[in-house]
Amino acid sequence: MAVVNVTPDSFSDGGAHLDPEDALAAAHRMILEGADVLDLGAESSRPGSDPVSVDEELRRLGRVLPQVLELGAPVSIDTTKPEVAAWCLQQGAHLINDITGLGDEMIDVARNHGVPCIVMHMSGRPKTMQRGPHYEDVVAEIHDFLAERVQRAEAEGVQTVVDPGFGFGKSLRHNLDLLRRLDVFRDLGPVLVGISRKSMLGALTGAETSTRLPATLASSSLALDRGASILRVHDVAAHRQLLQVHGGCLGFELATTEPARIHLDGIEATLHLGVPDEERAHPQTITVDLELEVSGHRGAAATDHIEKAVDYAPIPDLVRRTCAARPVRLLERLAQRIADEVLAHTEASAVRVRLHKPGAANELGIADVSYELNERASETAPDPPSGDPLPTRVAAIALGSNLGARRHQLDAAVAELRRLGIVLAVSDWIETDPEHGVDQPRYLNGAVTLRTTLLPTELMDELLTIERRFGRRRSAEPDVAATSRTLDLDLLLMDDLVLDHDDLTLPHPRMADRDFVLGPLAQIAPDWRHPVLGERIAGLRAALDGAGRDDTSHRTEDRQGPN
């Protein structure tokens, strides 16, 4: 769980995210770094802090919550006020984090919206809580308090996560007792721990708030060992690494000596196959069965986290593309190509490829001829890779965004494009006015050239998937077409291909009229010739300039890093 404080006075990052754009950028960065939940708070609870009014808390949250929700990650609201929680849940927030131990009114709000709650223990209130805190048995007393609140919430059908509340009305000794005996709380359900950068770490190490990451990681690791399920942290990337080591270690404990096997049976692929030329001239369909030997499953077995599982979803497409890439005479050669591609593009340590060619030998009374090949990665991954490489094409892609954390969305989209091939060049991000003077926020635009083995329609599908991941809805409806967008990706050119399919036209039909497309593209591919107009991109740009483009609407926003 990543902390996003839109406060001027939080103890660890006071004011850093008060500006909505900064908060949004931080939230987006944390999601990319691997945060599962964002905890959005607008009232500091540091010792000695003053409470804020409902109106002020709502004002701070209202400036960021809708945009943060659009990022698509679950959002928790760190608030003590039922009115604030209710408003945020109406907007679409997903859970409540109440540091005051979930009063009955807050339980009602959670029940009415059907959301879970984090119930935290605090002794007193932030203003005075650190003045001589006292317990007979800190662990037992806090356990009893949380048990009572959990029972009350459960009676109303509200799910809970418990949190002993490190630093909230506790001395260093109390905090350390709670951490050492954290496993006591596990009978109450999932346990959340928020020690990140807190003063108990300063008391132990003498480190200032901003340099407490090593101490935080040590405490997070202890908490995980004692059964914590959720870590509330400021430094997401560092904790992602910590969890990877933790999960890997657990997985190693669970490891068996045998690798796991994944079977993908019945992948149908169309290709030109056969020894006689006339047989190869016609497309035919074969069936491919794969068995992959993998060892990367252990993290998934240990943690139940999807991102630790072996991702087999792209493999059928890889097989189909390999089959379709070029004609082949023998099943033996085709099986070798498939094995090479699968081993090069997956973490499999070995692959068994079985090819079925139904009806191949009907005249011999054989219904199905199959050929099987076993390859291990070490044997089949010579450097450079064996086999003929898949053919590649260079694509030009336009990027645009006028909603949310524009820069970060565009940077993240470029990172996604790198998964699809080799990004050859990235233009500057250029700020532009919306097309046709539509009343919308201004855009950031740019362009990328990408070398890829994907076919044009496959690349187009990937671009649409990336857009959807960033929350973009495409529609033929004019009002939707004219709405703002978190991310817009347009396939402009692919080599010198000219296509006019139902769902894809190349070159992009309106690229030559759009300065926000030609401007960035002319920076990175000035000599690329438009395959229909026959003119260089730089020439098309100059022609638009001549037609009276409004230069004042453009300014260079930022230079991309090394490509």
Residues labelled catalytic: 198, 232
Neighbours of 36 (CB within 10 A): 15
The Cα angle at residue 503 between residues 519 and 287, in degrees rounded to 5: 120
Beta bridge partners of 376: 350
Closer by beta carbon to ligand HH2, 165 or else 456: 165
Peptide bond into 507 cis (omega under 30): yes
Query: Residue 102: phi, psi to the nearest 5?
Result: 60, 80
Least Å distance between CB 46 and ligand HH2? 4
Which of residues 20, 41, 421, 456 is near ligand HH2 by CB under 6 A?
41
First to last CA, the chain: 32
Token pair listed for 7: 């406060």
**Cβ-based nearer residue to ligand HH2, 78 or 490:** 78
In the list 2, 5, 375, 488, the residue contacting ligand HH2 (rule: CB under 6 A) is: 5
Q: If you count DSSP H runs as helices and E runs as strands, how many of each does the chain have, helices first?
A: 20, 20
* Residue placing its CB nearer to ligand HH2 in the complex, 118 or 292: 118
> Interaction with ligand HH2 in 127-166: which residues (CB under 6 A)?
163, 165-166
Q: Is 118 in the site for ligand HH2 (CB under 6 A)?
A: yes
445 in contact with ligand HH2 (CB under 6 A): no
Of 421, 454, 462, 497, nearest to 320 by C-alpha is 454
If the CB atoms of residues 80 and 336 are measured against ligand HH2, the closer one turns out to be 80
Compute the least distance from the CB of residue 95 to ligand HH2, in Å: 11
Neighbours of 4 (CB within 10 A): 26
3-state helix, strand, coil in the chain (%, to 5): 40, 20, 35
Candidates 232, 297, 308, 472: give the one binding ligand HH2 (CB under 6 A): 232
Please identify which residue in 97, 100, 220, 427 interacts with ligand HH2, judged by CB under 6 A: 97
- Closest residue to ligand HH2: CB criterion: 194
Contact flag: residue 110 with ligand HH2 (CB under 6 A): no
From 23, 38, 146, 192, residue interacting with ligand HH2 (rule: CB under 6 A): 192
Of 47 and 62, CB closest to ligand HH2: 47
d(CA 214, CA 37): 22
Q: Is 120 in the site for ligand HH2 (CB under 6 A)?
A: yes
Q: What values do phi and psi take at 498, rounded to 5? A: -120, 115
Query: Does 194 contact ligand HH2 by CB under 6 A?
Result: yes
For residues 134 and 164, is the Cβ–Cβ distance under 8 A? no
Interface residues for ligand HH2 in 62-91 (CB under 6 A)? 78
Pick the closer one to ligand HH2 by CB: 196 or 523.
196
Binder of ligand HH2 out of 45, 380, 449, 452 (CB under 6 A): 45
Kindly state whether residue 44 participates in binding ligand HH2, applying the rule CB under 6 A: yes
Q: Segment contacting ligand HH2 (CB under 6 A): 26-34, 40-48, 54-62, 509-517?
A: 40-48
Considering only residues 8 to 37 of the shown chain, the ones binding ligand HH2 according to CB under 6 A are 10-12
With contacts defined by CB under 6 A, name the span among 1-9, 280-288, 359-367, 393-401 that binds ligand HH2. 1-9
CB atoms within 10 A of CB 381: 14
State CA 5 to chain mean position distance: 21
Instruction: Report the candidate in 453, 539, 447 with the shortest Cα–Cα distance to residue 493.
Output: 447
DSSP H helices, 439-497, are 456-469, 478-481
Span interacting with ligand HH2, options 5-13, 27-35, 147-155, 385-393, rule CB under 6 A: 5-13
Residue closer to ligand HH2 (CB basis): 118 or 334: 118
Contact partners, residue 9, CB within 8 Å, separation at least 6:
15, 44, 46, 49
Q: Give burial (CB, 10 Å; 0-12/13-18/19+) of 74.
A: middle
Where does this chain touch ligand HH2 (CB under 6 A) — which range of 41-49, 244-252, 367-375, 491-499? Answer: 41-49
Closer by beta carbon to ligand HH2, 193 or else 492: 193
Q: Give the number of residues in contact with ligand HH2, rule: CB under 6 A.
A: 21
Residue 3 is a binding residue for ligand HH2 (CB under 6 A): yes
Distances (CA, A) of 187 to 190, 191, 226, 302, 517: 8, 9, 12, 20, 58
Residues lying near ligand HH2 in the complex (CB under 6 A) are found at: 3, 5, 7, 10-12, 41, 44-46, 78, 97, 99, 118, 120, 163, 165-166, 192, 194, 232
